[in-house]
Structure 1
Amino acid sequence: MPIVTWDGSLAVGHEMIDQHHEHLVELLNRTYDEFCDRKSRHNLEAVLDELIDYATYHFAQEEVLMGQIDFPATEEHLGEHAFFIRRIDEIQKEFLSGTGAISLEIITFLKDWLVNHISQKDTQLGDYANAHQGKPVIIDLG
């Protein structure tokens, strides 16, 4: 059972951003499923790694877009990305070292941060990007 359902309420109206967010929601849901199943620490570790890697990739893509369109709230947005990466890196290090576990509290933090960031900060970015389509915004660092 998903912890977050991807639907129109999370769409920001920018194709690339929405595709990335849909994948992030899918990875979060897989993380939650692995947590609930408690079958394999290895599986949970693998999906958490994938979530971190994809979030890092996604943030880099958004940051390139912000530079291309001269997004006025770039610094604040970058700060939010940096906070999330620091926090999820701490979670992963504690999990891998055995000093911490993935808990419902951590899954809830990930969900709340992602949903709030999308609905507030990324919606602003999507609106601004769509209003400034005169500049090329097709990017793919992958």
Structure 2
Amino acid sequence: MLRDWSDIYLIGIAEIDRQHQGFFTAAHRLYEDILDRDGKSAVVEAMAFMREYAEQHFQTEEAFMRQHHYPSLQEHLRLHAGFFRRLDELENDLMIFGPSQALADRALDITQDWLIDHIADEDMLYSLHFRAGAVS
């Protein structure tokens, strides 16, 4: 089920919150393009956009974590790498099998559901670390 952005996903870091909202939009676009099945080119374009958006977003997060000496940075980097491995698998299946409902469902899981879990758990941790340091 597609979920819309909600303020419950805010972590309190304006630039990253803005990017998270954009990530939700990109996840919706990818899901809808796969379901529309207007041909592989639209889906390939949506997946490329998702990859580019994730790369940009993860770079922003990782720079922020380095700047604020986040102690769990290496673990967070592994989570980001895991996201890209799952995206690679999705792209591979798209090239082999083409767009389908099953692929759309996997795209939703890989992008939106992963993002929600990631924001609620991992991103909130570095936000709390940042805010604790800002208060000190």
Query: 2: distance between equivalents of 1:19 and 1:27?
Result: 13
Whether the aligned pair in 2 keeps the contact of 1:91 and 1:100 (CA below 8 Å) is no
Larger helix percent? 2
Query: 2: distance between equivalents of 1:44 and 1:130?
Result: 39
Whether the aligned pair in 1 keeps the contact of 2:83 and 2:110 (CA below 8 Å) is no
Taking structure 1 as the reference length, the TM-score comes to 0.83
Unaligned runs of 5+ in 2: none
Query: 2: distance between equivalents of 1:47 and 1:71?
Result: 32
| Number of residue pairs aligned between Structure 1 and Structure 2 | 132
Whether the aligned pair in 1 keeps the contact of 2:2 and 2:28 (CA below 8 Å) is yes
- For 1:40, the equivalent position in structure 2 comes to 39
- For 1:14, the equivalent position in structure 2 comes to 13
- For 1:105, the equivalent position in structure 2 comes to 106
- For 1:70, the equivalent position in structure 2 comes to 69
Q: Return the letter of the residue paired with 1:93.
A: N
Whether the aligned pair in 2 keeps the contact of 1:31 and 1:44 (CA below 8 Å) is yes
Secondary structure at 1:34's aligned position in 2?
helix
Secondary structure at 1:103's aligned position in 2?
helix
* % identical equivalent positions: 27
**Residue 131 (structure 2) pairs with residue 130 (structure 1):** yes
**What is the 5 A alignment of 1:85-96?**
85-96=84-95
Whether the aligned pair in 2 keeps the contact of 1:14 and 1:126 (CA below 8 Å) is yes
Give CA-to-partner distance per residue, 1:51-84, whole Å, 9 cap, x none: 0111011111111111110001112111101111
Give CA-to-partner distance per residue, 1:90-130, whole Å, 9 cap, x none: 2213323x256533133223222111001110111122223
Whether the aligned pair in 2 keeps the contact of 1:17 and 1:126 (CA below 8 Å) is no
- For 1:138, the equivalent position in structure 2 comes to none
Taking structure 2 as the reference length, the TM-score comes to 0.86
Query: 2: distance between equivalents of 1:71 and 1:10?
Result: 20
Q: Return the letter of the residue paired with 2:40.
A: R
Q: What's the CA shift for 1:88?
A: 0.6
